[in-house]
C-alpha cells in the first residue's frame, strides 16, 4: 500500500505477491528456519494443541493470530516448541540457549506479557554482553502483538515501545506493513543482539506487496513513505498508516506532508528525521504509546536539540492519553490517535 520513495522498499521488477502481514511474518520465520538450523521458536500455543494418544502437536492454533501456522509440520516439535504459560521461565531459557549457541525466537503473544518476563529481558538479555565485558552475545529475537483498537482492553493492548527502547542492550523494531515485517524479522533473527519485533494487531490482516525472495531491512533505518515540503509527519508501527491517511487528506488542503516511518526505534534513524525537518521546518510525531517519556517525546527532544534553528513551529506530538487502554468501543476510539487528530494538529501549527 505504500509508495516507497527511499532505498527501503522492494526494487522494481522484483517478483512478489500480495499477501497479509501475518503471512509475510510466517514466511520470514520459514526462511530463517531454513537458513540456520540453530534457529528455533519457543512460545505458548505456537503450534497449539497435542494429540493425547500420539503426543504429537496438532497445530490447532498455529500460534496467536496464526503467526506460526504450519511450521511444526515442516520443522518439527524440537524447533517449534510449545511452552507452558511461564514467560519468565521460557524467556530465561531462551536467553540461556542464545548464550550457548542457538538463535532462539520467542513468541510472547500479547505485548503486555513482556512485563511477566521483564527481569529476564532487562537483567539477562540486555546486560549480559556488557557486564561480562563483551565475552558473549545474545542472538535472541522476541515478538509480540501490541496496540488498541480491537477490543482487547487494558492488559492486551499496550504499546509501551518506549519502555524497551529505553534499555541499553536491546533493539526494538516496529514494522508497519507486510513488506517491512518480512525484512525486519529476518534482520532481527540474523542479528547478534537481542531484538524485539513489535507487531501492531491492527496491521496483522493488512495486505501488501511482498517480494518472494529473502531480504533484510537494516536495523536502525527509517524510510520515507511520501515526500512533501510543508510538514514532516513521523509514524511508527500502525501510526505510520495513520500518518499516510492524514497526508492524503492534507493534500486536499494543499498541504504537502512528508511521512517518515521510523521502522526501528532502537537504534533510531535520527538522520532521516533531521533531514526531513530541515526541509519542511515543521514536525508532528504520532505515537500510540502513552505520552510521558515516549518515543514521541524522544523524537521531539532530538529535533529541538539538533534542528532548533530550522523550526518554524513548535514540535508537536499526537499520542494516546496518559491512561490505560479502555474496553468500550467509543472510549477506545477516543484513546487512539487517528488521522483527524493529526490533521487538526497540522492545521493548528500551519495556521491553516
Partner 1 sequence: MKIENKLEWIYETLIRIRFFEEAMLEQTYKGNSMGVTHPSDGQEAVPTGICAHLTEKDWIGSTHRGHGHCIAKGLETKKMMAEIMGKFTGNCKGKGGSMHIADFSKGMLGANAIVGASIPLAVGAALTAKYQGKEKDSIGVAFFGDGASSQGVLHESMNLASIWKLPVIFACENNQYAEATPAWYAVSIEDIADRAASYNIPGVVVDGMDVFAVYDAAEQAVKRAREGKGPTFLEFKTYRYHGHFHADQPEKYRTSEEENLWKKRDCIINFEKRVIKQKLINKNRLDSIKKKIQKEIEDAVEFGLSSPLPPEETLYEDVYVNYSNDLRGFR
Residues annotated as catalytic (active site), given as ranges = 87, 156
Q: Which of 14, 60, 131, 293 binds partner 1 (CB under 8 A)?
A: 131
Does 89 engage in binding with partner 1 (CB under 8 A)? yes
Q: 95 by DSSP, 3-state: which? A: helix
Of 133 and 330, which has the nearer Cβ to partner 1?
A: 133
With binding defined as CB under 8 A, does residue 293 bind partner 1? no
11 near partner 1 (CB under 8 A): no
Specify the residue for cell string 532502537. Answer: 266
123 binds partner 1 (CB under 8 A): yes
In 3D space, the residue among 204, 245, 205 whose CA is nearest the CA of residue 225 turns out to be 245
DSSP 8-state code for residue 202? G
- Is 318 a residue that touches partner 1 (CB under 8 A)? no
Verify binding: residue 33, partner 1, rule CB under 8 A.
no
Position of cell 533531521? 274
Binding range to partner 1, per CB under 8 A, among 85-93, 144-152, 312-320, 340-348: 85-93
Q: Smallest distance from the beta carbon of 26 to partner 1, in angstroms?
A: 22
Buried (b) or exposed (e) across 63-89, using 16+ Cβ within 10 A? bbbbbbbbbbeebeeebbbbbeeebee
CB 128 within 8 A of CB 138: yes
Contact pattern for partner 1 over residues 261 through 290, marking x by CB under 8 A:
-----xxx-x--------------------
* Of the residues 44, 59, 191, 289, which one makes contact with partner 1 according to CB under 8 A: 191
Residue selected from 1, 58, 66, 93 as contacting partner 1 according to rule CB under 8 A: 93
Q: How far apart are CA 252 and CA 272, in angstroms?
A: 26
Exposure b/e, 197-213, CB count within 10 A at least 16 = b = bbbbbbbbebebbbbee
Considering Cα of 160, then 176, then 147, then 272, what sign does the dihedral take?
positive
User: Contacting partner 1 (CB under 8 A), which of 74, 130, 312, 334?
Assistant: 130
Footprint of partner 1 (CB under 8 A): 40, 78, 81, 83-84, 86, 88-102, 119-120, 123-124, 128-137, 168-169, 171, 191-193, 219-220, 266-268, 270, 305
Amino acid at each position: 500500500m505504500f509508495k516507497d520513495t527511499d532505498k527501503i522498499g522492494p526494487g522494481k521488477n522484483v517478483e512478489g505477491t500480495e499477501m497479509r502481514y501475518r503471512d509475510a511474518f510466517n514466511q520470514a520465520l520459514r526462511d530463517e528456519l531454513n537458513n540456520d538450523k540453530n534457529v528455533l521458536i519457543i512460545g505458548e500455543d505456537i503450534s497449539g494443541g497435542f494429540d493425547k494418544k500420539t503426543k504429537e502437536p496438532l497445530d490447532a492454533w498455529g500460534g496467536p493470530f496464526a503467526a506460526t501456522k504450519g511450521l511444526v509440520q515442516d520443522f518439527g516439535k524440537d524447533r517449534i516448541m510449545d511452552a507452558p504459560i511461564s514467560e519468565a521461565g521460557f524467556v530465561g531459557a531462551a536467553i540461556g540457549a542464545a548464550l550457548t549457541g542457538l538463535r532462539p525466537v520467542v513468541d510472547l503473544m500479547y505485548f503486555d506479557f513482556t512485563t511477566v518476563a521483564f527481569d529476564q529481558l532487562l537483567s539477562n538479555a540486555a546486560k549480559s554482553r556488557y557486564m561480562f565485558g563483551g565475552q558473549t552475545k545474545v542472538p535472541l529475537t522476541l515478538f509480540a502483538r501490541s496496540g488498541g483498537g480491537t477490543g482487547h482492553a487494558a492488559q492486551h493492548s499496550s504499546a509501551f515501545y518506549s519502555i524497551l527502547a529505553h534499555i541499553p542492550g536491546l533493539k526494538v523494531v516496529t514494522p508497519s506493513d507486510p513488506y517491512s515485517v518480512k525484512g525486519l524479522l529476518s534482520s532481527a533473527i540474523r542479528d547478534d543482539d537481542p531484538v524485539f519485533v513489535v507487531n501492531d494487531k491492527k496491521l496483522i490482516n493488512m495486505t501488501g506487496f511482498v517480494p518472494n525472495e529473502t531480504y533484510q531491512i537494516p536495523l536502525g533505518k527509517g524510510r520515507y513513505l511520501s515526500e512533501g515540503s510543508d510538514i514532516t509527519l513521523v509514524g511508527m508501527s500502525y501510526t505510520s498508516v495513520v500518518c499516510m491517511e492524514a497526508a492524503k487528506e492534507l493534500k486536499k488542503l494543499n498541504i504537502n506532508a512528508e511521512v517518515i516511518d521510523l521502522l526501528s526505534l532502537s537504534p533510531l534513524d535520527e538522520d532521516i528525521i533531521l533531514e526531513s525537518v530541515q526541509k519542511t521546518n515543521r514536525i508532528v510525531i504520532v505515537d500510540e504509546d502513552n505520552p510521558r517519556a515516549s518515543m514521541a517525546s524522544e523524537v521531539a527532544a532530538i529535533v529541538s536539540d539538533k534542528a532548533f534553528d530550522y523550526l518554524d513551529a513548535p514540535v508537536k506530538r499526537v499520542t494516546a492519553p496518559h491512561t490505560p487502554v479502555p474496553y468500550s468501543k467509543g472510549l477506545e476510539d477516543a484513546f487512539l490517535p487517528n488521522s483527524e487528530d493529526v490533521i487538526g494538529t497540522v492545521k493548528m501549527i500551519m495556521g491553516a
